[in-house]
Amino acid sequence: MNSWLPLSEIDFEARMADAGRPILIDFSAPWCQPCKRLEPELEKLALQLAGQADFYTINVDEASNLAAHFQVMSVPTIILLVNGQEAVRTSGYQPLQRLQTVFAPHLGS
């Protein structure tokens, strides 16, 4: 996912502190087939919402503490943070239209 930057436990706090706009986080894993199916949909979403949010992906195998912090029980899970607070989340494969319906209303346009 080109628009979705990898985020590790080490740089999480710094990225959150520097966030000037909402943040979409994709919690996924390389072995997860639904995650792989979701990638193209997430890339389209990032292109449509460019400038309205920052986009990060977190590998739950490498950042299990972050997954636990956000109570991620399954992958893929997408969480939108607005002003550092969780605004909405979705889990499992979602087509682009569903992703737009869930996240766009929280991004102001």
94, burial (CB in 10 Å: exposed 0-12, middle 13-18, buried 19+)? buried
For the record, the structure tokens of 103 come out as 């996240």
Report how far residue 12's alpha carbon sits from residue 83's, in angstroms, rounded to the nearest whole number.
Answer: 15
* Catalytic (active-site) positions: 32, 35
Report how far residue 62's alpha carbon sits from residue 10's, in angstroms, rounded to the nearest whole number.
Answer: 11
